Structure 1
């Protein structure tokens, strides 16, 4: 993995950028050796990105 993302990094990204980043992280995870440090770090970043997407996605009843 080339980069570690923080909440501050992700707050400046649009929802579309977050979705693209999540896809890239999922691809990286599929290439990482299971249980490796790289896989664990990618999972942490993936969870942060997913959390940020959930925070930005409107919820509630839709018309």
Structure 2
């Protein structure tokens, strides 16, 4: 029987995929360092916001565990 995937599960997977993609971009040898630094600075803000957004809904979905 397949386990029911909650919206929170989908969000966590999307978050994992995003982190993986960011890592790949930062390792891209074709991008110059200044572009990588600029990108990383913006992504840091995105990650911080994602953590806070996760805290808002995590408790609700954790009740189903």
* Higher-Rg member (1/2): 2
Structure having the higher helix fraction is: 2
